[in-house]
Each structure stands twice: as structure tokens, then as C-alpha cells.
Structure 1
Amino acid sequence: MAPPRSGSPGGGGGGGIVASIARFWQRTYASDYIGFVLLLVAYLLIQFFVEPFHRMFAVSDLRIAFPHAEVERVPLLHDFIYALFIPLGLTTLTNLITRAPRHKHHVTILGLAIALILASLLTDIIKNAVGRPRPDLLARCLPKPDTPRDILVTIDVCTETRHHRLHDGWRSFPSGHSSFAFAGLGYLSLFLAGQLRVFAHTSGSAVSGAHAEKIIRGDLVRALVCGAPLLGATMVAISRCQDYRHDVWDVTVGGLLGWTVGYWSYRRYWPRLGSGRCEEPYQSPPGAEGPAGGYGRVRDEEEGLGGRNVSFTELGNL
């Protein structure tokens, strides 16, 4: 008599349950959403329960003696508007204009959300671990009048009683505004470059023999449209130096971190910008978007073999 199969009534069902969970994990976006929730929870825990390392400082150090700006040029709310709501609105509008399917809307928003929360989490981890004083630290700390000027002292000499204002003085490196701006606006720049086919300069099918691919030069107007979000992110970063919240090193590293995370998140769902299908996201896992799912990323080399004349090309020629 043959032994009962795993998952049958007499077989305990252990293997069947594991296999079902594995299929669900592979055929849906469950791992992406669980990962996003974990990132969000980790970010909130750091925000509410973790204090930065307090690096020693000298009250005679002019690099941390700048005034504290009570009114910021780009407050946190405005950074959210620039890096989250504007990219969300423009990507959604573009997809609506081109009558994109539900899957395209889905991965566009999911990629943006993951880029922003991951950049924020990494930035705060580094901020708290490094504990670098801000340029306006002395104005936040308000050291005791009898504090020695030419020796290193600790946070114990500070008289400021407002918890956030004081401890935030040791969160200079890297710039959170800069990383958040470059993650969101950098993602938007990549999305627009793909939809407008700025770097996909081939048209028609690639065939062997006498018929070669037609090379199309990307026009400057489309390139400028895609570069505009990066200019906006740069201006946000510069404003942090103008407010004496950060120095050039802080905003440069923050911007590079945000851009790297934005590019990484974009490429998880979209082919390279030089691909002939750069305006189309990777297919969804089977079952994630209904019967028409069909999981499987087409390799970039295969995608690069010629482009297709679709509505997104027409959009880019406007």
C-alpha cells in the first residue's frame, strides 16, 4: 500500500501547507508589502525610541556656532509635498493619460513608497550611529556660562530642556531632507525618463541581415523634463545648508543615498532605461493581478532588442 501523499488527509498536511505558503509568497506581492510594513515599523521605532550618539564638542568650534533658524526654508511638511505627493500625483496622472493597466499603477506607487521609506530608515540609522553635531549645535545646546571653551565637553553642559530640539542637534549626517527628496524626486525622474523613452534610442524590430535598427536621437526637451525633479531635489538639499541645519558633506551624502535607493527601488519593477520596453514594468506574479498575471522578468538584453511603437512613444513626441 502506497504511503499517503503529503497534504492528503492521512499525510499530516505539513508539506501541503508549506507548499501553499511558498506558492502564495512567490505568486503575489505579499513579500513586498510585508517588507514595506517591516521597514515602516522599524522607522517609527527609531523615531520614537532611539536617541543619537552624542559626540563630544568644543564651545569654541566655529563650525557648530551658526544660528538656529526658527523658520526653515523647506520645512518637513513641504519636503513631503515635494518628494511624496508631487511624484505620486505626476506618476498617477501620466499613467491615467496613457490609460495604463492596473498593474502599472500598482508597481509605480509601490516602488515609490518603498524608495521613500527605505531611504528614511537608512538615513536615520546612520544619523543616530554617527551622532555628528549640526552646524547650529551651540544655539540648540545653550552651554552653561562657565563651560570651558578649549576642551572637549559632553551633552551634560547643555541647558536646553526641549528634548527634540536638543537631541536633534546630533543628527547632522547625513541630511534626511536630502535623502528623502532624492529618493522621491529621483524615482520620479527615472519614471519620466522611462515613459518618455529618453534613453531608448531604437525603433522598430531588430532583425538580422540588411535591415538594421533605426537610431533615434533623444530630444533635449524630454531630457530637461526628466531632469527637472533632480533640480528640485538639489534645491531642497541646498536649503538645508542655507538654514545651517547641515553642511555640504551632509547633503551630498544624503542626496547620493536617496538617489541610490530610488534607483534600486525603480529597477526592481522596471527594466533599464535603454531597454526597448522601458515604458512597461516587469510582469506581475501569476495571481497578483488576476488570471492575466504571468510572472517572469524578461532579461534586459532581450528587452533591448528593438522597441515597440506604443502609446508611450506618442506621449514622448508631444
Structure 2
Amino acid sequence: MAPGRSSNGSQGGTFAPLVRFYQSSYASDYLGFAFLMTTYLYIQFFVDPFHRLFFVNDLNISYPHAEIERVPVSMNFVYALFVPLFLILLYNSAFGSHVHKHHVSILGIAIALVLASTVTDIIKNMVGRPRPDLLARCRPAPGTPPNTLVSLDICTETDHHRLHDGWRSFPSGHSSFAFAGLGYTSLFLAGQLKIFVLRNSGWSSPSPSDRDRAIVHVRGDLGKILICLTPLLGAAMIAISRCQDYRHDVYDVCTGALLGWTIAYWSYRRYWPRLSSAHCDEPYPGPSPPSRNDDSYGRLRDEEEGYRAV
């Protein structure tokens, strides 16, 4: 046996307790969350975007700068973070959910939001696309020639954030954040209400007509479907408000929405079964200490879930 290793292949020695704790807890998730949060804050406070050249007579960036936004950053946090957290905790508490379910519900949405924010800001700063209200932010110096590519140097605005934020148009951060938080909430509700679970009443080989009736029965519960769609409608309204304020165009908003929704789904599926699973209302078991023969989390594969459901 190699020095410093136990019989089951785990790392021994001084760091063995730390290794076991890391493997038998959500430590990696919290470390990843801390890393993402640190990265996001660093970008927010210390990174300026790439500044594309522009024309002072470009009508696409000549829209007015809205001093009062329809959904300011503070309210986006309320709508996409605090309201979803309240709804998830209220639902879990109302049905007496266990501590593990509370834990992964919160952890999943937290990771979705911080990952969406970090990825969005990285892309924003690298692309450096001008906002529709760039000229109102920049306030070009008098005499700047039209039909000539100019740079940041011709701007007379002295407010650092107001000026440099004019090159952070793509993708929309409000949209990605809203669809990450409210999109996760929509997935959570869909899993808890089991709107995609096909109930076949226990028959082994349903006929096509029976299967069609079952599908109609499941998909006919419009009330539950509308409950799950409501968070997505809220996210869409937040995204649309960014076009109304001339902070973004449709391309920015749609890309941000797709990015946020994709990350929300990815984060949700790390902790929950697929929505068509009979057990979609319960999260995967938490990590457990690695045994001699199995060092997995005890997570079921999708095909195993399907086998159990039958």
C-alpha cells in the first residue's frame, strides 16, 4: 500500500479529515459560490469594458438616457432573488419539507443567480457593445466630426460609472438575472406540482387511446401550468422594461434571457430529477462519505428513475 493512503483509496495523513469532509458535504458548492461571488464583485468594481469605436451620428445609439429606470437594480434583486426565495421557503414550510430540501432549494437558486451574473458580466466587458443611449451618456465634445469612427476620448462625461457602463449592452444583465432566479422558481414549482409527470394508473402496456387520455389529463390542469408560468412572465416583463428604458435592444435582452434560463435549468438539475420523473418533487440525496466500493453521491441516473417510476 502506498504511504499516506488508506485501504479504500482515500487520502490519508494530516488532511484526511478535510478530504472526508469535502467529499461528504456540499463544501465544493460553497467554495464555488464564494469564488463566483468574489469574481463578480471584482468585475463590478475594478474592471472596465472594452470600448468599441462609434459614430456620433449613429441613430442606433442616439436614444435618451432614462434617469429613472422602470426596474432599477435594487428592484431586480427584489423580484428575481427575494420574492423567489420567499415563495420557495413558503412552499417548503407549508408542506413540512425536510431540512435537506430547504437547503438544496436555496443553494440551487443562489448558484444560478451568481453564475448568471458572473458569466453575463464577463461577456459584457469583453464584447463592449455600446448601449442604445451611449451618446447621451458620452456627451461628445462639440465639433466631433460625423461619419468618422471616434473613441472614448471624445466623451466629456465625468461620471465614471455612467460613462463606462455605456459599453455594457450585450447581453442584458437584468434579463439574465431575472430568468436565472424566476426561471429556477418556475422549474421548482413545475417539479413540486408534477405538471410533466405522466400518470398511467399502473397499467403495464397502455393502448394509444389510453395513453392519449392520460396525457390530456396531465396537460389539462391549466391552473398548475399557469402558476408555473407566472415567474417566467415576470422575468419577461423585466427584460422588456430594459428595451423601454433604452438600456438594451431586443438582441441583448433575448440573449440575456436565454443565458439566464439555461443556467437556471443547469443549476436546478444538479439537485433535482428531471421534471417527468415520478420523484421530481424530491431532491437528490445529499453527498455521503465515500465507501470502499462507491464514492458517488448516491444520485440516481435518469434511466434508473424511469425504472423506479414504472
Q: How many angstroms apart in 1 are the aligned matches of 2:223 and 2:299?
A: 31
Question: Which one-letter code corresponds to 1:85 in the other structure?
Answer: F
Distance 1:4 1:285, change over 3 A: closer
Tell me the equivalent position of 2:285: 283
> Aligned-pair RMSD on alpha carbons?
2.5
For residues 155-170 of structure 1, what are the structure 2 equivalents within 5 Å? 155-170=152-167
* 2:229 corresponding residue in structure 1: 227
Q: Amino acid of the residue matched to residue 288 of structure 2?
A: P
- Corresponding position: 1:217 with 2:203: no
1:238 counterpart residue number: 240
Matched, 1:102 2:102: no
1:206, 1:306 within 8 Å by CA — same for their partners in 2? Answer: no
Q: Which amino acid aligns with 2:63?
A: F
> Residue 301 of structure 2 is aligned with which of 283, 295, 299?
299
- How big is the shift at 1:15? 3.3
Q: Which residue of 1 aligns with 2:26?
A: 29
Structure 2 CA distance for partners of 1:254 and 1:4, relative to 1, 3 Å: closer
Q: Does the 8 A contact of 1:179 with 1:256 survive in 2?
A: yes
Partner of 1:148: 145
> Which of 49, 54, 58 is residue 57 of structure 1 equivalent to?
54
Aligned residue number for residue 192 of structure 2: 195
Measure how far apart 1:299 and its partner are: 1.6
**TM-score, structure 1 normalization:** 0.87
Q: Distance in 1 between matches of 2:125 and 2:178?
A: 20
TM-score w.r.t. structure 2 length?
Answer: 0.89
Percent identity, aligned pairs only, is 63
In the other structure, the counterpart of 1:266 is 268
- Residue 75 (structure 1) shift: 0.6
1:94–1:144 Cα change, 3 Å: same
1:146 offset after TM fit, Å? 0.9
1:119 corresponds to: 116
Quick one: distance in 2 between partners of 1:146 and 1:209?
77
- Provide runs of 4+ in structure 1 moved above 6 Å: none
Task: Provide Cα deviations, 1:30-88, integer angstroms capped at 9, x if missing partner.
Answer: 00000000000000110111000000000010000000000000011110011001110
Structure 1 residue 201, shift from structure 2 partner: 1.8
- Output the amino acid matched with 2:110: A
Letter paired with 2:218: R
Shift in Å, 1:304: 2.7
Pairs aligned (count): 296
1:119-138 superposed matches below 5 A: 119-138=116-135
**1:228-285, Cα deviation, whole Å (9 max, x unpaired):** 1101100000000000000000000000000000000000000000001000000011
**Aligned in 2, Cα 1:209/1:239: closer, same or farther, shift over 3 Å?**
closer
Deviations 1:269-307 (A, max 9, x none): 0000000100000001126xxxxxx94111222223465
Give the C-alpha shift of residue 7 in structure 1: 7.1
Helix, strand or coil at the partner of 1:172: coil
Q: Does 1:248 align with 2:250?
A: yes
Q: Do 1:172 and 1:245's aligned partners in 2 also have CA atoms closer than 8 Å?
A: yes
Is contact 1:202-1:307 (8 Å) kept? no
What is the SS of the residue equivalent to 1:169? helix
CA–CA separation in structure 2 for the residues paired with 1:298 and 1:241: 43
* Aligned partners of 1:204 and 1:306 also within 8 Å: no
